[in-house]
Structures are given as C-alpha cells and as structure tokens.
Amino acid sequence: MNPAPSLFLIGPMGAGKTTVGRRVAAQLGLDFHDLDHEIEEHSGATIPLIFELEGEAGFRKRETELLAEFSARPGIVLSTGGGAVLAADNRRHLRERGYVVYLETTIEQQLKRLAHDRKRPLLAGPDRRERLARLAAEREPLYRETADLVMPTGFNGSSGATARRLVEELNAQWRRGSAQAAPEQAA
C-alpha cells in the first residue's frame, strides 16, 4: 500500500525483523513495536509457555488479535512473527494498513543467526535445516504475496547495513501517509 502511515516487517525467524526494525524506526523517527514481545506483554506469558499451554492455535489467535490492534496504529514500525502471514486476515490487515517489507534471508543465514536460540517452539527438534526448509516452503509465497518491497538481508552480515539499505529503498519508494487512523478505525 502506498501511501501508508506505518511500516510492517515480515519474514522468517532469524531474518532480522526486530533488529533491523529498531534501527529503521530510529532513522525514520517512528515508534517501534515487536509483535512477539507485545504478545508476551499482553498475556503475561512467554511464547514457549503459550505454545505449551495453548498450542500453536492458541498462539496464532493471540497473534491475530494483537496484529489487528497494532496494525491500526499510525506512524509505527511493526515487526511481526515469522508465521503472522499464515492467517488471511493478518495478510489483509498488513496490506491495507501499511507498507509491507519482506526481509528475505537464506536458510544458511537463519541457521547461523539462530544457532544458539533454544526458545523458539517451531524450531525445536533435531533437524533445524529441514524444519526451516519446510517453513520456508509454506510461508515464502505468502511473504511475497503480502509485501510491497522485498529486501534481502545479510549485507556484510550487518543489520546496520541492512537497515541503511532499507531506509534508502523506503525513501525512494514509500510515500508515508498522514498519521491518521487506518480507514477501518476512522469514523
């Protein structure tokens, strides 16, 4: 969507959505929100605990509710979880309410960045490469369908370089809309 009042980052786990998002928000003078962090704050539980108690379906329900709330806020950068694009309503909200950037990464980059991460429920298991490949096969078409811009990550292995390149692309392509409520929120 262009113009759009907010910027939404999508992509797989380990793409750098949170790290790059914080840097981009600072450079653009926008508030930053990480959807997974907001889920934990609003629920009072960690994501692994939510998965343990409610399963993936319970987590996805919470994710959809908060994505609807946060995507309606004007003038923010929102990093989503890797699976946020699975729900059609989420994809619709992202497309209709903001400018969507898909942070594209390779499985090799994900394996390197997530090598010591033991907190992600969907990454649990003996063969991380196979799991990441399966998730990518399912989600890659949805990322592309939803995105206004595809931005490869991993410039010199630096999130700072990725953020700088993204801001350059945004300055060239994204027309920031007014900081008014999203159309569905205006009355």
CA distance 68 to 70: 6
Taking only the tens place, the pLDDT of each residue in 140-163 is 999 999 999 999 887 566 788 889
The pLDDT assigned to 123 comes to 67
Q: What is the pTM (predicted TM-score) of this model?
A: 0.87
Give the contacts of 13 (CB within 8 A, at least 6 positions apart). Answer: 81, 82, 110, 114, 120, 122, 123, 135
Mean pLDDT of the chain: 88
The pLDDT assigned to 2 comes to 64
Give the contacts of 164 (CB within 8 A, at least 6 positions apart). Answer: 27
With a pLDDT cut of 90, the percent of the chain lying above it is 65
CA distance 12 to 95: 18
Least confidently predicted of 48-52, 97-101, 114-118: 114-118
Domains and CATH numbers, the chain: 7-173 (3.40.50.300)
Q: How is residue 105 annotated by DSSP?
A: -
